[in-house]
Amino acid sequence: MTESPIKSSPIDIPEIPVEIVSEEEMALIEAALAATRSSLSSSVAPSCPSRLSLLSTISSSQFQSNAKSTETITFHSKRPLSGCSETQTINDVEDLGNLGRAQKKVKVPKSLLYRFRRKKGLAVTDITSTEWCEKQMEFSLLRGKPKKTKAMEAGTARHEKLEEEVIKKVKIHVKSVEDIWALKLMNFIVGANQLFFEGMTRELPLIGFLEGVWTVGVIDEIRMPSTGNIRNPLLVDTKTRSQATLPSEAQKRNGRLQLMCYKYLWDNVVSDNFPSDHFFDFFRLNPEITLSKEIKEQTASSGFPAQTLEEIMVYFRNTCCSLPPANDQLLLRYEFQGDNSLIGEDEFMYNPEWVKSQIQCCLEFWSGEREARYVLVEERWKCRFCKFSSMCPAKSTSDTVVN
């Protein structure tokens, strides 16, 4: 098993539907479209991380109907396009009045998603941390993560021990970002093969395109049923606790969200719906660059010799096609850190509507559509364990539900 030491072609702009309007309305529409073309022009500049995702966003939000009113076009011309620059200049059509009047410039700061996750994708733990407390997530991004507690270090050590029980790690030096992603794909292929032949694997890396955002994660454990007609793998996540007690309902909910996100990712990947061209484009990868000597040697010894990232991608997608969707039943395990004894298990069913709504709510915060929310009053006990509580406005609004 291998481990990473660290962790385009032109695109046509959609045609604009034609609508019969008055001359005055047409003047406003032309001005709005001019503003949109300006935004599109900036989105294909080298500094933009994802030409395809930007154009997809514009296509679905601005040109989805056959006829739009002046008010609708005005609204979308003001809507920020995430991810192109430090700040974005947008034309405010409502302030135009007529074509002879100067356009008002509005500065829109780039999103947290672009600022902090454009090079590696949004992690499943980013989603669960946001669900736990959006304000804490915001503080962590802007001020840096607090130091790990002893309980967190113990949890990390336990997961490493569990991984070592079934996986032999091999250190490989990487020389490029293509090498790093090649290792991630290699680890998935090797782990999937282990699942087939041994019935279980651990610490399996995943990447998928969920709700319009590249998302990554690592599944603690996957088990392949050995009896019966069910051949859908069971996804398992192990949580370690400093006390030999079951967690609160809020902690259970957060753990369930994490496992449901993993199933959502898994099912998306094995559906053979992986947009590899979009993947290369978004992460600015050269699929034809020759990989490092160590990686080529490792792929050969693992049974899928590859010279480039594009060749590894072929093996990756073929592997995905051979995998079934995950079981709808998911399993959370809780262990006591003192002796690794089992405190209890939480078996629950996958809820696709709920997990999608949770991810979409999370993305509203990450994409800058709204400000961070505080935890609800009934869950303000979380603040006692937060390193940012002394500077958080929620401290002075403990009796008020914000947002």
Query: pLDDT tens digits for 278-314?
Result: 999 999 999 999 999 999 999 999 999 999 999 999 9
CA distance 335 to 237: 11
Query: What per-residue confidence (pLDDT) applies to 229?
Result: 74
Instruction: Give the pairing of strands 105-109 and 87-91.
Output: antiparallel
Q: Quote the pTM value.
A: 0.70
pLDDT at 110 over 60: yes
Query: What per-residue confidence (pLDDT) applies to 26?
Result: 52
Q: Are residues 96 and 146 in the same domain?
A: no
Q: Are residues 319 and 186 in the same domain?
A: yes
- Secondary structure of 158-173 as H, E, C letters: HHHHHHHHHCCCEECC
Stronger pLDDT, 77 or 393, i.e. the higher one: 393
> Please, which residues bridge with residue 234 across strands?
223
CA distance 285 to 5: 19
- Tokens for 355, please give them: 């997990």
Q: What is the CA radius of gyration of the chain?
A: 24
Give the number of C-alpha atoms closer than 13 A to the C-alpha of residue 56, restricted to the C-beta side. 9
Answer yes or no: is 383 within a domain: no
For residue 61, give its domain range. 8-110
Could you tell me which of 304, 297, 308 has the C-alpha nearest to residue 319?
304
Q: What is the mean pLDDT of residues 21-50?
A: 45
Answer yes or no: is 229 within a domain: yes
Q: Are residues 199 and 148 in the same domain?
A: yes
108 — pLDDT class (breaks 50, 70, 90)? low
CA distance 264 to 400: 34
Q: Are residues 35 and 140 in the same domain?
A: no
| Backbone phi, psi, residue 108, to 5° | -120, 120
Could you tell me which of 120, 289, 271, 303 has the C-alpha nearest to residue 205?
120
First to last CA, the chain: 46
Q: Are residues 368 and 286 in the same domain?
A: yes
Q: Are residues 103 and 122 in the same domain?
A: no
Q: What is the mean pLDDT of residues 258-271?
A: 96
Q: What CATH number is associated with residue 279?
A: 3.90.320
Cβ contact 170:298 at 8 Å: yes
91 — pLDDT class (breaks 50, 70, 90)? very low
Query: What per-residue confidence (pLDDT) applies to 126?
Result: 97
Q: Are residues 59 and 191 in the same domain?
A: no
Look up tokens 């902090």; give the residue. 116
- Tokens for 353, please give them: 């509507």
- Output the DSSP codes for 14-57: PPPPP----HHHHHHHHHHHHHHHHHHHHHTSTT-S-HHHHHHH
pLDDT at 318 over 70: yes
pLDDT at 17 over 70: no
Q: What is the mean pLDDT of residues 20-49?
A: 46
180 — pLDDT class (breaks 50, 70, 90)? very high
Q: Are residues 102 and 140 in the same domain?
A: no
Query: What per-residue confidence (pLDDT) applies to 23?
Result: 52
Q: Are residues 152 and 166 in the same domain?
A: yes
pLDDT at 65 over 50: no
pLDDT at 2 over 70: no
C-alpha distances out from residue 272 to 21, 124, 151, 318, Å: 45, 21, 39, 8
57 — pLDDT class (breaks 50, 70, 90)? very low
Answer yes or no: is 391 within a domain: no
Residues comprising the chain, all counted: 403
Query: What per-residue confidence (pLDDT) applies to 182?
Result: 96
Q: Please count the other Cβ atoms lying within 10 Å of the Cβ belonging to residue 247.
A: 18
Q: Are residues 151 and 232 in the same domain?
A: yes
251 — pLDDT class (breaks 50, 70, 90)? very high
Which residues lie closer than 8 Å to 10 by C-beta, 6 or more apart?
none
Q: Which of 164-168, 255-259, 298-302, 398-402 has the lowest mean pLDDT?
A: 398-402
CA distance 295 to 308: 10
Rounded to the nearest angstrom, the gap between the alpha carbon of residue 374 and the centroid of all alpha carbons in its chain is 22
- Output the DSSP codes for 200-257: EEEEEEEEEEETTEEEEEEEEEEE---SSS--PPEEEEEEEESSSSPPPHHHHHHHHH
Per the structure, how many domains does the chain have? 2
Q: What is the mean pLDDT of residues 317-341?
A: 95
Work out the mean pLDDT of the chain and round it to a whole number: 77
149 — pLDDT class (breaks 50, 70, 90)? confident
pLDDT at 5 over 50: no
pLDDT at 214 over 60: yes
CA distance 255 to 237: 8
Q: Are residues 78 and 186 in the same domain?
A: no
Q: Domain boundary at 45, 76, 110, which?
A: 110
Q: Are residues 97 and 148 in the same domain?
A: no
Query: What per-residue confidence (pLDDT) applies to 24?
Result: 52
Stronger pLDDT, 127 or 20, i.e. the higher one: 127
112 — pLDDT class (breaks 50, 70, 90)? very high
CA distance 115 to 131: 20
Question: Percent of the chain, pLDDT > 70?
Answer: 70
C-alpha distances out from residue 173 to 169, 180, 302, Å: 13, 9, 17
pLDDT at 33 over 80: no
Q: What is the mean pLDDT of residues 188-212?
A: 94
Answer yes or no: is 395 within a domain: no
pLDDT at 186 over 80: yes
Q: What is the mean pLDDT of residues 146-170?
A: 74
